């Protein structure tokens, strides 16, 4: 991700891509997290986070940006296996799992892509479109306008 971020430095951006690729490495049909470039839009999520949560995310991304890719994958495997870890450590890992998945999956399935990605987004590949049905609202407004005359 080369897009400038208001919140992330270069190491944290690299960490986001490594973390995202560990969860969503891509395959023949779907792009990897980093290839999609959706991390360019991370500021939209970080801006809405409470400052303490944002600080925790930035710390995790800093660590992931400094670790070799293999260790980031190992960290993600540990977080993903948190259901089998009892004790307070397991609870902490489950919170981390929820936070990491929330950040990465929200970006990946947002329908947004990076400025250097020309392919289809995961939503386009899936044929999924979000829409809001408004026909009955429009009919009520039209009826209200006609009866007011």
pLDDT tens, position by position, 57-96: 999 999 999 999 999 999 999 999 988 988 888 898 998 9
pLDDT of residue 101: 95
pLDDT of residue 140: 67
Task: List the chain residues with pLDDT less than 70.
Answer: 1-3, 138-141, 143-144, 148-149
At 38, is the secondary structure helix, strand, or coil? helix
Q: Give the global pTM.
A: 0.83
CB neighbour burial string for 26-58, b if at least 16 within 10 angstroms, e if fewer? eeeebbbbbbbbbbbbbeebbeebeeeeeeebb
| CB count in 10 Å sphere of residue 109 | 15
């Amino acid at each position: 991700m080369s897009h400038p971020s208001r919140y992330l430095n270069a190491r944290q951006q690299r960490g986001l891509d490594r973390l995202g690729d560990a969860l969503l490495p891509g395959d023949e049909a779907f792009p990897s997290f980093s290839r999609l470039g959706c991390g360019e839009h991370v500021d939209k999520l970080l801006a809405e986070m409470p400052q303490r949560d944002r600080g925790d995310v930035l710390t995790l991304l800093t660590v992931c940006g400094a670790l070799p890719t293999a260790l980031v994958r190992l960290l993600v495997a540990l977080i993903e296996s948190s259901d089998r870890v009892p004790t307070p450590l397991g609870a902490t890992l489950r919170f981390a799992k929820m936070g990491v998945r929330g950040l990465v999956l929200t970006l990946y399935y947002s329908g947004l892509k990076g400025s250097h990605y020309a392919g289809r987004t995961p939503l386009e590949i899936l044929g999924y479109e979000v829409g809001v049905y408004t026909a009955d609202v429009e009919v009520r407004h039209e009826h209200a306008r006609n009866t007011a005359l």
